[in-house]
Structure 1
Amino acid sequence: MSIPQMNEKGLLPVGVHSCTLDEAESVLCWNDHRASLWCKLGDVLNEFRAQSFPRAPLFVDGSYVTDKPIPSDVELLIDLRSADDLIAGKVVLYCQRNHLRLRTDMLVDFYPVLQGGNDFASFFQYVGEKTACTKGLEAKDKKGILRIDSW
């Protein structure tokens, strides 16, 4: 497990790159702003633990997983595709009730990935309009994201 170097456009190479929380922190927290966002992400994960969320894989993405010095937030997905319906429902309800608070107060934009639902993990591998404009790419170009299996 290791995170590859970002390419010349400041993005991870295409694919899902597995890493630990410590590895992600060591690569992504290269200034005070990014370290502050990482602390907020840690607070969100502590909330998840307090809610007894399953320790399902997490995907971390957004401008936080680029060379952008001052990203606005951290995109976080929890992969519930193998969770039973009761547990997945609990996480979805939590997300619905807390999404705005997590996004505005904690600067973490949180989404569950559900069996048969939107595949946000694939969706977030597209560069998107904003990044495409700033990096000279097409919105449908692909980039890498991080997967954290143990938290």
Structure 2
Amino acid sequence: MIPDHDEHGLLPPGIHDASPAEIERRFCWTPRRAELLNGLQRLLAEWWIPQNLQGAVLVDGSFVRRKPDPEDIDAVFDLAPHAPLEQAVIFMLRCQIERAALKANYHVDVWPRHPALPNDLAAFFQYVGDKAAAELQLARTHPKGILRIVP
């Protein structure tokens, strides 16, 4: 179950498991939000699943806030429990090379996660960051929650 937003419009700190249907019920209250979720679902079906990489997808960005019209969805593809290092590096390079096209086609900003790769983006995205901090008048290190989908 997805917890309620706090007084800042953020999910409570932590990683919250959710099905695509739950995300649709909770986060698609505007046409733009429905369009973004549709883009994520197409990305999973057309790009992620055909790569035969298993793992959870962490969903973040203003989409998981109460912001009415988010720009995009941030998605971290968690290879940690499944992929060997070589496969993770190839996936990381693919994310970097294809990032602009994926964002244009699906409205999703893609990021890889693996213990051997630099920067744990699952941890990074559990803080509001500069842009949201400015919008919400919070410290950039203010904790927040993200969603986890297992496709």
Q: Cα distance, 1:34 vs. partner?
A: 0.3
Q: Which runs of 5+ in 1 are unaligned?
A: none
User: Matches of 2:44 and 2:121 in 1, distance apart?
Assistant: 19
Letter paired with 2:75: L
Q: Hey, what does 2:125 align to over in structure 1?
A: 124
Q: Hey, what does 1:72 align to over in structure 2?
A: 71
SS in structure 1 opposite 2:110? strand
Q: Cα distance, 1:50 vs. partner?
A: 2.0
Alignment of 1:2-151 (within 5 A): 2-46=1-45, 47-52=47-52, 54-82=53-81, 83-116=83-116, 117-148=118-149, 150-151=150-151
Runs of 4+ in 1 over 4 A off after TM superposition: none
Q: Which runs of 5+ in 2 are unaligned?
A: none
SS in structure 1 opposite 2:35? helix
Q: Cα distance, 1:81 vs. partner?
A: 1.6
Q: Which moved more, 1:112-121 or 1:61-70?
A: 112-121
User: Matches of 1:121 and 1:64 in 2, distance apart?
Assistant: 16
Q: How many residues align?
A: 148
The share of aligned pairs that are identical, in percent, is 39
Q: Cα distance, 1:93 vs. partner?
A: 3.1
For residues 88-142 of structure 1, the C-alpha deviation after alignment (integer angstroms, 9 at most, x for no partner) is: 2332232122111012232100000121321000000111122112212111111
User: Matches of 2:129 and 2:85 in 1, distance apart?
Assistant: 31
For residues 43-85 of structure 1, the C-alpha deviation after alignment (integer angstroms, 9 at most, x for no partner) is: 1101211222x22011000001100011000000011122212
Letter paired with 2:131: K
Quickly say closer, same or farther: Cα 1:25–1:55, change in 2 above 3 A: farther
For residues 19-47 of structure 1, the C-alpha deviation after alignment (integer angstroms, 9 at most, x for no partner) is: 22221121111111100011111111012
User: Matches of 1:71 and 1:14 in 2, distance apart?
Assistant: 20
RMSD, matched Cα: 1.3
> Normalising by the residue count of structure 1, what TM-score does the alignment of the two structures yield?
0.91
User: Matches of 1:50 and 1:9 in 2, distance apart?
Assistant: 38
CA contact (8 A) 2:129 2:140 kept: yes
Quickly say closer, same or farther: Cα 1:96–1:132, change in 2 above 3 A: closer
User: Matches of 1:131 and 1:89 in 2, distance apart?
Assistant: 30
User: Matches of 1:24 and 1:87 in 2, distance apart?
Assistant: 29
